[in-house]
Amino acid sequence: MSGHQDDETHEHDRGLSYDLPVLARRRMIRLMAGAGAGLVPLVGCTADGSSSTARTSPSATDTRAATETDTTCAPIPEETAGPYPGDGSNGVNVLKESGVVRTDITSSFGDSAGGTAEGVPLTLTLTVVDAASGCGTPRKGAAVYVWHCDREGGYSLYTEGVTDENYLRGVQETDDQGRVTFTSVFPGCYPGRWPHVHFEVYGSLEDATSATAITSTSQLAFPKDVCDTVYATEGYEGSVANLRRLSLESDMVFRDGHDHQLATVKGSAEEGYAASLTVAV
């Protein structure tokens, strides 16, 4: 599948006019936050809901510290949806197809070709919380749409060879804890982008399946050590050289900060990985 491996195929994911407005707004927000850093520390949520400046929770007696952490929880950074969202914003719309609401996104559904994405198993859990309440209130009844490339770096519905597939795309409604969980495979690394998962948060399942009223659009990043381990396995050979040319600090999306987007990942290449991230909106 050579079509998706060249730079031209993913040119839109590198900061053309489609992406620049979102990135410019994000940098402005960060500059404004930095200007007030001496007065109010900006602290984000990690995958387990704790402060990004302290991996352990404050003690029960440290009420002041706990309150400061809660009230300064930062919303997930807004990012570009890239050129392959499949949400109707650039033509194709998978969100209105019957069967898109599902947990297992490894296989295509509906009128697609019926293929299955191969790769190292990945369980992805996103916990959506209310930023205004300091990340302490789960967003029950919200919805999350996720999509990402396959292990060869191709996107279903768009990349030559998999345009008839719609795998690695799906929607889930958040539970009482604000969580959604997807069964997938670890994505590959294509030229110019750090390994990532795209996601959109909607206010409700109805909003998601009608592709209206997006609350937030962002991306999840994977730790380098996990990527190195996965890409040493069969089927990911093309990702090795691509990852070697990249870093989180140079990636066009994550280079201005990835504290709130770097997933916590546990597991092994043999048994599969579980990735989790708290998404404050």
Q: What is the pLDDT of residues 66-94, one digit of tens each?
A: 333 344 589 999 999 999 999 999 989 99
C-alpha distances in angstroms, 217 versus 49, 54, 70, 257, 268? 19, 26, 22, 16, 29
For residue 149, count other CB atoms closer than 10 A to its CB.
27
Determine the pLDDT at residue 72: 57
The answer to whether residue 252 scores a pLDDT higher than 60 is yes
Averaged pLDDT, 252-256: 96
Query: What would the pLDDT profile of 157-183 be if each residue is shown by its tens digit?
Result: 999 999 999 999 999 999 999 999 999
Q: What is the DSSP-derived secondary structure letter of residue 45?
A: B
Q: Which amino acid is at 17?
A: S
Q: Which amino acid is at 106?
A: T
- What percentage of the chain reaches a pLDDT higher than 70? 74
The sign of the torsion formed by the CA atoms of 159, 165, 166, 167 equals negative
Q: What CA–CA distance (Å, rounded) separates 51 from 67? A: 11
Nearest to 157 by CA among 64, 84, 257: 84
Across all residues in the chain, what is the average pLDDT?
Answer: 82
pLDDT grade, residue 113 (50/70/90)? confident
Helices (H), the chain: 20-35, 63-71, 205-209, 224-231, 237-244
Instruction: Provide the 3-class DSSP secondary structure of residue 10.
Output: coil
pTM for the whole thing? Answer: 0.78
Averaged pLDDT, 13-38: 43
The answer to whether residue 221 scores a pLDDT higher than 90 is yes
The sign of the torsion formed by the CA atoms of 110, 111, 115, 119 equals negative
The answer to whether residue 40 scores a pLDDT higher than 70 is no
Averaged pLDDT, 23-42: 40
In the structure encoding, which two tokens stand for residue 208, read together?
């998601």
Q: What CA–CA distance (Å, rounded) separates 32 from 38? A: 12
The answer to whether residue 201 scores a pLDDT higher than 80 is yes
Averaged pLDDT, 48-58: 34
Determine the pLDDT at residue 81: 97
In the structure encoding, which two tokens stand for residue 104, read together?
């297992």
Q: Are 183 and 105 in contact (CB under 8 A)?
A: yes
- What percentage of the chain reaches a pLDDT higher than 90? 73
For residue 7, count other CB atoms closer than 10 A to its CB.
10
Q: What CA–CA distance (Å, rounded) separates 86 from 255? A: 25
Averaged pLDDT, 232-255: 97
Q: In which element (H, E) is residue 19 found?
A: none
